Amino acid sequence: MSSTGKVSIVVPCFNQERFIGETLQSVAAQGYRDWECIVVDDGSTDGSADIIASFVQSDPRFRYIHKPNSGVAASRNLGFAHATGSYFLPLDGDDRLHPDFLASVMDCFGRHPAATLVHCRTRLFGAKNRIWRLPDYSYEKLLLQNMLVNSAVFRRDAFERSGGYSEEMVHGFEDWEFYVRLLDPQSEVRLVKKPLFYYRVKEVSRTTEQIQSGRVEESMRLIYARNSERYRAISHNPIGVFSRRMKDFAPTFTARYKRQITYLHTAYLLVIVSLVGILVTTLVSEPKSPLAGALHLRSRSLPPPPN
């Protein structure tokens, strides 16, 4: 049984002229029709506003808010403050949704009415094109590693209890820090096992800039500082936590190692077959080559077979 209710989609946009049209078109193409899309222009200086305006004019479910630049977290919070739906979905201005995304997610909420959050498998596109294989969810793992993409659907009341996105997280990981507060060990999180969310990978992005600027550790420390009580709840037995996490990670690394060995052996075999093929071709096509001549002389010097 599918759940019913309006989904409020908030799209922060800062200078996404190249991609914002694709993003909003993927929203317009949703089979599930009960949605609103609030696009928050975070002080763009390119042609993004004109592209957004074309969607607002063609479909009243699109709404536009402009504000001075203050970051992704502040843009999402502002958008959701104007939302009227019972379910919330953040969507970045360069990503896309499969046409069945909302229908599949709302069907999952209908089958699991206690769920706080529903997410889908993710397909990477752009600089990389493949399925993004993320670890299975558990709250304990979430405290140590984020396995939930930023575009998941969660209930409005859960968002309001959490206080929204932290606007301190200006260098990234704002979605990870938000999920730590949105959820708890008792929260029910469900996965739609189809790749219905499309995450764009670019050569230069907020993630690459965060790494290059050395802000990763700073962002992680801020996540811990804002949620220290939640981390202390698992720190009474850090050895046990480490052991459980290693059991999670070991199969992944073992499988990766086996795949690499298989690829390596296959490459060696192909090289050997190619070299043998070249050698045979050389002997057949050039019988007077030094190697062929040596083999010919050697065959002539052999004694005749006995009668």
Q: What is the CA radius of gyration of the chain?
A: 28
Predicted local confidence at residue 153, as pLDDT = 98
The Cα–Cα gap between 73 and 228 comes to 21
Cβ-contact 13, 38 below 8 angstroms: no
Predicted local confidence at residue 233, as pLDDT = 80
Q: For residues 177, 178, 179 and 182, what is the CA-based torsion angle, rounded to 10 degrees?
A: 130
User: Which residues of the chain are under the pLDDT cut of 50?
Assistant: 295, 297, 299-302
Backbone angles phi, psi at 69, to 5 degrees: -65, 125
What is the reported pTM? 0.78
The H or E element spanning position 207 is helix 206-212
Cβ-contact 227, 181 below 8 angstroms: yes
Predicted local confidence at residue 297, as pLDDT = 45
The H or E element spanning position 27 is helix 20-28
Q: Nearest 5°: CA angle at 58, between 56 and 62?
A: 35
Give, in order, the Cα–Cα distances in Å from 123 to each of 3, 196, 201: 25, 7, 10
CA 109 to chain centre: 21
Task: Report domain extents, the chain.
Answer: 7-236, 242-301
Under CATH, which number does the domain 7-236 receive? 3.90.550.10
The Cα–Cα gap between 148 and 144 comes to 12
DSSP, collapsed to helix, strand or coil, labels residue 67 as: strand
Give, in order, the Cα–Cα distances in Å from 141 to each of 16, 134, 230, 233, 243: 33, 12, 12, 13, 12
Q: Which of 77, 76, 73 is nearest to 170 (CA)?
A: 73
For the chain, the maximum distance between any two Cα atoms, rounded to a whole number of angstroms, is 103
HSE at residue 222, side-chain half, CA atoms within 13 A, is 18
Predicted local confidence at residue 302, as pLDDT = 47
Give, in order, the Cα–Cα distances in Å from 83 to each of 32, 63, 80, 159, 168: 18, 10, 5, 12, 22
Token pair 């709404």 is found at: 63
Per-residue pLDDT tens over the stretch 165-204: 999 998 889 999 999 999 999 999 999 999 999 999 987 6
Residue 281 tokens read as 């071709």
Beta strands in 83-188 (DSSP E): 87-90, 96-97, 117-126, 130-132, 153-155
120: buried, middle or exposed (CB in 10 Å: 19+, 13-18, 0-12)? buried
DSSP, collapsed to helix, strand or coil, labels residue 86 as: coil
